[in-house]
């Protein structure tokens, strides 16, 4: 029956084994790094999609606000009554033409 004992490795064989182990570890790190990069890219893509959605919603809200401001401004300027606004200290901030006519300005 043959002996199952392994013979001791020589210096070049040990160096070869160390090199193989280092190569295996580096390959493992590369695979993990590649997976992480894929996860990051996917996450960035999702964040980008969410940001585009938020920008679109923001633009829609801005358009609605502009339309509301235009309606307010038309009512303020073209209404048949005197309209003015004051700040908290009572200083007139804006007024329409009817208010100016009423005050004789």
Least confident among 6-10, 21-25, 55-59: 6-10
Classify 95 as helix, strand or coil. strand
Alpha-helix runs per DSSP H in 79-95? none
Confidence of residue 69 (pLDDT cuts 50, 70, 90): very high
Alpha-helix runs per DSSP H in the chain? 11-78, 97-103
Confidence of residue 4 (pLDDT cuts 50, 70, 90): low
51 touches 43 (CB < 8 A): no
| pLDDT in the model for residue 65 | 97
Q: Tell me how long the chain is.
A: 105
The predicted-structure confidence for 32-64, as pLDDT tens digits, reads as follows 888 888 888 888 999 999 999 999 999 999 999
Of residues 104 and 93, which shows the higher confidence score? 93
Confidence of residue 3 (pLDDT cuts 50, 70, 90): low
98 touches 79 (CB < 8 A): yes
Rounded Cα–Cα distance for residues 55 and 13 (Å) = 62
């Amino acid at each position: 029956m043959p002996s199952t004992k392994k013979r001791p490795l020589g210096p070049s064989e040990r160096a070869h084994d160390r090199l193989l182990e280092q190569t295996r570890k580096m390959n493992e790190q590369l695979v993990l790094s590649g997976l992480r990069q894929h996860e990051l890219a996917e996450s960035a893509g999702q964040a980008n999609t969410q940001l585009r959605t938020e920008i679109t919603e923001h633009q829609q809200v801005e358009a609605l606000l502009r339309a509301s401001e235009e309606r307010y401004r038309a009512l303020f300027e073209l209404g048949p009554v005197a309209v003015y606004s004051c700040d908290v200290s009572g200083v007139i901030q804006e007024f329409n033409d009817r208010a100016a006519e009423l005050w004789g300005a």
